[in-house]
Structures are given as C-alpha cells and as structure tokens.
Amino acid sequence: MAITFHVNDKSPLKGCSLVTGFHGLGATGFISVKHAVTSLNAELIGYIETDRIPPFVSMEDRRLSLPFEIYKKENFVFVLTNVPPHPKERQAFSKSLAEWAINEGFYSSYLIGGLDSRLKPSDADKIRCTVTKKFKDDVGIPLLEKGLFVVGPLAVMLTYFEINDFPAIALLPYANPTRPDPMAASVAVENLNRLTHLTMDVSQLITDAQRIEMEIQEFNKQRQDRGKMDQHTLYI
C-alpha cells in the first residue's frame, strides 16, 4: 500500500514541527488544522497521495483543493486532511505520516483530537493530553486519565512516535460527539498557541460555535412547537 509525499523541494523540513488532526469527535482535529492554515496564511507546499485517495476535490482561492494537503508557516508544517483517509488505508496513512516526520528530521509533533464531552469530570474541565516520553515533561495540561483511550489515527501516530523516541503531544479537548464542535477546536488552538508561541486568533471559532448553538436551539424550539401543534390538532 503506497503512501507518497509530494513536497516542494524548496521547503526545508528538518527541525520543523508537525501539526495535524483528523475527523474524529467533533471533527476537532480537522477544524483546528484548517483554522491554523487559514489564520496563519500558511503556504501550500505539497500533497499526500494514496492508493485509495478519496474521490473528492473542490475549488478554494481559485485552485483545486485536494484531499490531503501539506502547508508550511515558518518552522511549522500542517497536514490538512480535507477528507478522512479511506478506512482500509487509515492505519497505513497514519504510520506513514509519523515515519515521514521522523525520517525528514522533524523536531516534534502536535496532534489534535477530541474527547467525548460526556466524560468531563466537571464543566471547568476543557482538555486532556497524552505525551510521548521524549516530549517535555510539564505542559500545563492534565494528562488523560488511566482507563481512557486514544483511538484511530492519533493512536497509531503516537505509537510510532513513542517507539522511535520522538517528541509528540496529542491535545484532546472535550468535544460534542454528535456534531462539529468549533468551541472544542478553539480550546485546542489556544493551547497550541501557548505551547508553540503561535498567535492564532480563535474569535472566529467561537463565533462559529455560538452560531451552531443558536441554530440547534432554534431547531429544537421549532420541533417542540410542531409537537405542541400536533397534540393540539389531535384534540380538535
């Protein structure tokens, strides 16, 4: 199963930090990386090709947007998965991405996922993290509790990073498991800012979250109103 990285030769990668995420709980990883690429005006430097590449493209900024894109801003490389990898390639894709970062001499990796918000110990809890032993010790984020698991592509990447003594952290904000959650993404981005000294504005993510919440509330209200009307009709 071939996973090929097509990267502009003029973009040195050694010493960079990899940032990526996937369409997991709340689509938190995807939303966070998409926001980072947009807010930092990162440069498109390449693509990832797979045997089962998803058959989806779109137009963005007068160019084709492909399923797997690679962006760069200063010493940060962002892998944006516009479409989830094919289920039969998910593990190979994740492994290849981790091996690519190691073989290219990256300095570290920041992975973004999500935790089911129903597991929150309290409303004050916003995020957990997992780290490889090579990552700096004190990150100021509570570690994932024993008995809880990271699953999917991030778990595969963390496994290969740990085996190869590579510094990596997974940022896991609590996210709504039933819909895209920009608020969870804003928590991830804020913590990424703090750890990396990037300065990404999260106000648009918060606005998006508020809009989604208002739309859901309006939908629920309309559904309740329809229910009341139906009950009233039954008794006429």
Report yes or no on 216 lying in a domain.
no
pLDDT at 128: 97
CATH code at position 83: 3.40.50.10900
Report yes or no on 235 lying in a domain.
no
Helix (H) and strand (E) counts in the chain? 5, 11
pLDDT at 217: 76
The separation between the first and the last C-alpha atoms of the chain, rounded to the nearest angstrom, is: 65
pLDDT at 218: 75
Report yes or no on 224 lying in a domain.
no
Residue 216: φ, ψ to 5°: -65, -45
- Cβ neighbour number for residue 197 with a 10 Å cutoff: 7
pLDDT at 223 over 70: no
The DSSP call for residue 99 is: H
Report yes or no on 77 lying in a domain.
yes
Find the domain containing 168 and state its range. 3-200
Q: Which residues in 110-130 are b (16+ Cβ under 10 Å) and which e?
A: bbbbbbebeeeeeeeebbbbb
CA nearest 171: which of 153, 185, 181, 156?
Answer: 185
Report yes or no on 222 lying in a domain.
no
pLDDT at 11: 81
Mean pLDDT of the 208-229 span: 72
Share of the chain above pLDDT 90, in %: 82
Cβ neighbours for 217, distance < 8 A, ≥ 6 positions apart: none
Report yes or no on 172 lying in a domain.
yes
Residue 124: φ, ψ to 5°: -75, -20
Report yes or no on 16 lying in a domain.
yes
Report yes or no on 58 lying in a domain.
yes
CB 49 within 8 A of CB 139: no
Q: What is the pLDDT of residues 76-133, one digit of tens each?
A: 999 999 999 999 999 999 999 999 999 999 999 999 999 999 999 999 999 999 999 9
Q: How many domains does the chain have?
A: 1
User: Could you give the residue ranges of the DSSP H alpha helices within the chain?
Assistant: 28-39, 90-103, 153-163, 182-196, 203-234
Q: What is the pLDDT of residues 143-175, one digit of tens each?
A: 999 999 999 999 999 999 999 999 999 999 999
Q: What is the pLDDT of residues 17-49, one digit of tens each?
A: 999 999 999 999 999 999 999 999 999 999 999
Cβ neighbours for 123, distance < 8 A, ≥ 6 positions apart: none
